[in-house]
Structure 1
Amino acid sequence: MSSLCTRLADPEKEKDSGSASMVRKAHWASRGPKPNSQEFEVYSTDSDGVVLARWRKLILDVAEEHIRRIGHRKTTVADIAFNLGASRASVYRFFPTRAAIDQSVCARIANRTLDDAREISQGSAPASIRLAEMFAALHQHTQLQLVEERHSHELFVAATDGKWEVAKWYFDEMTRIFEATIREGLEAGELKGGDAGNAARCVMVALIPFVHPRLIEERIAKGGDLKSELEAQTHFVLRALAKVPR
């Protein structure tokens, strides 16, 4: 998942010039916990890939904290570098652009939401029940983020409005989770239809108004009863997939 975002480059953004040497040790700002200096030692006995992953995680931890607190538009690479005790040039060694940081933070938040859907998908309940539970969980995450994590919601809105690659990945991954569950239902004879992939894409179209951050925001602003609407849409989807009409 992380590679998805680090390879994204934004030609409109300029990197720092110069060739500052890589910082050997990083530390948090005084208000936060300090990482183990040996763990983040650049010239450690670990492989380059392990060191890179550790630094990337540390940078994203700081970036996510800032974004949740003040929003992605106000968070700067300078803020992130300051809290790491590093230079901006050092941060850019791990992320080619500021946009890549935003996309990676968005991806890690999205992946936590998808983890709940994956856990439900891997359960032992009938496929129709798992699908209904996934619909409810994904919708709840999106709605709670709007209400309780406003800055994270704004980041997701920017991703979907701007057609960021991470937004496409998020909805594609959601569709793949639906597909896996539908395929199991077909194999068990519980659901009807011969193409799990096509069915999953249709389900995604039906569910998009309840998991798309911008669409949910607009529906709430208009006073829509999302709970009742989701229940009706879920019933419609499951009736369409049911082996025996309900």
Structure 2
Amino acid sequence: MAKTHTPTPQSRGPSEHDIRDQIVEAATEYFGHYGYNKTTVSDLAKAIGFSKAYIYKFFESKQAIGEVICANRLSEITATVDAVTADTTSASEKLRRMFKALVDAGSHLFFHERKLYDIAAASASEAWPSVGHYEAHLKALVLDIVRDGREAGEFERKTPLDETANAIYLAMKPYINPLMLQYNLDNAAQHSSQLSNLILRSLAP
């Protein structure tokens, strides 16, 4: 007897993934205009046209929405950093480009997307997971650059690798961490260039 195939029912309306994206997109625009700290989920719900309960179906809190927005922004920054460091074989140049790209990205966010910068500041202050992943990515990149530099004979090899990479990251942190960067924006590009020169001199064999 032939088996009867029941057609797969077609979903009506947007998928849950689409709705999540819609909420994040609307929240990014709303936070960008009114600020993260001053916005409640109720405000966001009214702006989007959803009920607050419906938003809570997809995100357990305002921070959960902010997490996605923050992760998206940080992913854009890491993608930019990865791109500018990928087309050079010189470890010294990679370090310079990485530092410059990070400072440029942070400064742009502060001056041109100030309200969204507040999300980045909140994420750093409260140690959101997105910030932890971002910092881990940058630390790994620094470690790879130092390792490549040592293998190419550009950098000294006496200091333990982990210690060297961690020290470099700590030296850069005032120009990377959004909470600290806001106090170091005056001449940030010039100062980061000088700091890069100092770091590279300390790495010379």
Segment drifting more, 175-184 vs 228-237: 175-184
- TM-score with structure 2 length normalisation? 0.82
Q: Deviations over 1:191-227 (max 9, x none)?
A: 333754433221110101112222222234xxx5333
Say whether 1:239 aligns with 2:178.
Answer: no
Say whether 1:122 aligns with 2:86.
Answer: yes
Q: Which residue of 1 aligns with 2:56?
A: 92
- Pairwise CA distance, 1:85: 4.0
- CA distance in 1 between counterparts of 2:49 and 2:116 reads 25
Q: Which residue of 1 aligns with 2:112?
A: 148
Q: Which residue of 2 aligns with 1:226?
A: 188
Q: Equivalent residues in 2 for 1:59-78 (5 A)? A: 59-78=23-42
Q: Which residue of 1 aligns with 2:7?
A: none
Structure 1 runs not aligned, ≥5 long: 1-23, 26-39, 43-50
Q: Going by fraction, where is helix more abundant, 1 or 2?
A: 2
For the residue of structure 2 that corresponds to 1:239, the secondary structure is: helix
Q: Is the 8 A contact 1:121 1:177 kept in 2?
A: no
For the residue of structure 2 that corresponds to 1:219, the secondary structure is: coil
Percent of paired sites with the same residue: 25
Q: Equivalent residues in 2 for 1:163-242 (5 A)? A: 163-193=127-157, 195-220=160-185, 224-242=186-204
- CA distance in 2 between counterparts of 1:195 and 1:111 reads 30
- CA distance in 1 between counterparts of 2:60 and 2:152 reads 47
Structure 2 runs not aligned, ≥5 long: 1-11
Q: Deviations over 1:43-86 (max 9, x none)?
A: xxxxxxxx53x333222111111111111123333344445543
What amino acid is the match of 1:73? N
Q: Which residue of 2 aligns with 1:107?
A: 71
- CA distance in 2 between counterparts of 1:218 and 1:234 reads 19
Q: Is the 8 A contact 2:35 2:115 kept in 1?
A: yes
Q: Which residue of 2 aligns with 1:162?
A: 126
Alpha carbons of structure 1 residues 124 and 107: separation in structure 2 relative to 1, 3 Å: same
- Pairwise CA distance, 1:118: 1.1
Alpha carbons of structure 1 residues 184 and 56: separation in structure 2 relative to 1, 3 Å: farther
- TM-score with structure 1 length normalisation? 0.69
Count, aligned residues: 194
Q: Is the 8 A contact 1:183 1:196 kept in 2?
A: yes
For the residue of structure 2 that corresponds to 1:64, the secondary structure is: helix
- Pairwise CA distance, 1:138: 0.4
- Pairwise CA distance, 1:136: 0.7
Alpha carbons of structure 1 residues 129 and 77: separation in structure 2 relative to 1, 3 Å: same
